[in-house]
Amino acid sequence: MSLTLPGCFAASVAAHHDRPALQGEDGHVLSYAALDAERRRAARALLALGVQPQARIAIWAENSSEWVIAALAIISVGAVLVPVNTRMRGAEVAYVLERSGASLLFCAGRFLGQYFPAQLDGLRPASLQHLIVLGVPERGDRSFADLLTQADAISEATLDARMAAVRPDDLMDIMFTSGTTGRPKGVMSAHGQNLRVSLEWGKRVGLVPEDRYLVVNPFFHAFGYKAGWLTALLHGVAVLPHAVFDAAAVMRRIATERISVLPGPPTLFISLLDTPDRASHDLSSLRATMTGAASVAPTLVERMRAELGFKVLLTGYGLTEASGMVSFCHASDDAETIARTCGQALPDTELRCVDEHGRALPPGEAGEVVVRGYNVMQGYLDDPAATAEAIDADGWLHTGDVGVLDARGYLRITDRLKDMYITGGFNCYPAEIERMIAAHPAVAQVAVIGVPDERQGEVGRAYVVPRPGQQIDEASLIAWCRTQMANYKVPRSVAVVGALPTNAAGKVMKFELRKLDSREETAA
């Protein structure tokens, strides 16, 4: 089996031909054989459009069966998948499309009260030649079904030849993640490394063909994509995409569809556990899960086992720059280990905590977490300087996180070198948020920090200095932010101040803001 998406998926189809592969929220089921036929048809349609190897094709849409079919087709013809966050607004999406050089966009239709293509009016980059609506098109936009009619122009043999030409070291995806510069950076990963990581994750969680995997984590995120539908399809598992999280709806689907695998961030499980009518739903089919992306309380692990019935419960640590995954716990680990650590490094990879000079520290000493191995990205798209800053000359990826390794090699994350904080499982980068808030006509200066939140783990708090003669109202500024950026980036509170604390070089001292926030919380 070739360690490429076409090779690995063909092996799954051969082994699980008649088993269910994909079931939409409308109940429509595709077997592995039927999904393969849909994948091939969509792939031939892409070839008919003239899609070349390594062309960049983006998907900006909610979780759905069509998302999976489109992604499989894109990757199968040797093009590069560019997942786009559905919480982004038009200008943010346009930047990703332009930066990646995407020539084709698979786009949601009407979702969350908005017609997604309309958000790009006046913003479409010159590189974008085609926009295909996954869902119901409006305004004369082209539908996915219409695209598929072009498939007949390309023979199956032509498609087979294109797929056979794909190699494990070919670029498979570019996933955009923000950085301290305030602009998203494109993380490049290849077929071989992605598939190897996904195969290992499925093995660790013990996936079997009889499993039914409800993927609530968004497909634009590594959790929903690489640890989600991709891993499931490599193991013959049935994938059930779920577009919008709602605790009651998810529990109904667990009961009705006999869901056995349900990973997600801690906030997802807190919501399920705290739903008043949880006892009225039959959740007995639940078997395996993985959580992470935020600190996990030992009591939550115990409740997930006792009240949700998970037999296999893993925690882990990962980042986009490492194919989404760095370390995992084992199913046999005790609740304290699972809750307090992120497990051990993936097999055939290395994990260290190092001092400021890059020297490895002994167990028990805190330092920057660095990782080396097949899971480390190919680099940042068209940004050799940022790549060299992230990956040193010896191949170690510097994560910017501070952690401690114990004598067993289990990792515990203790802090962050960077200002990044995590809201409900999503990374938030203050520099990017600050850049967008600074565009507000009443804002002179802004600094954003992450503050503790019982439900989301952390949320943003903005300290804002008004322009002379201007007034800033907290509610109005937050409402404005919701029109400019993804919802999880929007600060949950705003403090209007006369000045920001700065050092002699004029750099904002965020540790002073954190002290101030701590004093305010104590006073409250």
Per-residue pLDDT of 16-40, as tens digits, reads: 999 999 999 999 999 999 999 999 9
Q: Which of 339, 342, 266 shows the shortest CA–CA distance to 297?
A: 339
Q: What does the alpha-carbon distance between residue 485 and residue 435 come to, in Å, rounded to a whole number?
A: 11
pLDDT of res. 180: 43
Rounded-to-10 torsion of CA 298, 304, 305, 308: 170
Q: Which of 495, 484, 485, 490 shows the shortest CA–CA distance to 517?
A: 495
The arithmetic mean of pLDDT across residues 85-106, rounded, is 95
Q: What are phi and psi of 398, to 5 degrees?
A: -90, 115
- Judge contact between 421 and 294, C-beta under 8 A: no
| Sign of torsion over alpha carbons 112, 107, 74, 316 | negative
> Which residue did the predictor score with more confidence, 167 or 509?
167
Q: What does the alpha-carbon distance between residue 42 and residue 36 come to, in Å, rounded to a whole number?
A: 10
Q: Which of 71, 7, 62, 82 shows the shortest CA–CA distance to 38?
A: 71
Please check the confidence at residue 503 and state whether its pLDDT lies above 80: no
Rg of the chain, C-alpha, whole Å: 23
Convert the pLDDT of each residue in 364-400 to its tens digit: 998 999 999 999 999 999 999 999 999 999 999 999 8
- Give residue for tokens 């969509």: 42
Considering the chain, what is the average pLDDT of its residues?
92
Please check the confidence at residue 427 and state whether its pLDDT lies above 90: no
What is the share, in percent, of the chain residues with pLDDT greater than 90?
75
Contacts of 172 (CB under 8 A, 6+ apart): 5, 75, 80, 81, 189, 190, 191, 194
**Range with lowest mean pLDDT among 251-255, 300-304, 418-422:** 418-422
Convert the pLDDT of each residue in 209-222 to its tens digit: 999 999 999 999 99
Please check the confidence at residue 181 and state whether its pLDDT lies above 60: no
pLDDT of res. 345: 97
Convert the pLDDT of each residue in 438-497 to its tens digit: 889 999 889 999 999 988 889 999 999 998 889 999 999 999 999 999 999 999 999 999
If you count them, how many residues does the chain have?
524
For residue 210 the two structure tokens come to 């009889």
Q: Which domains are delineated in the chain?
A: 5-180+187-244 (3.40.50.980), 421-523 (3.30.300.30)
User: What SS3 state is found at 245?
Assistant: coil
pLDDT of res. 506: 56
pTM score of the predicted model: 0.86
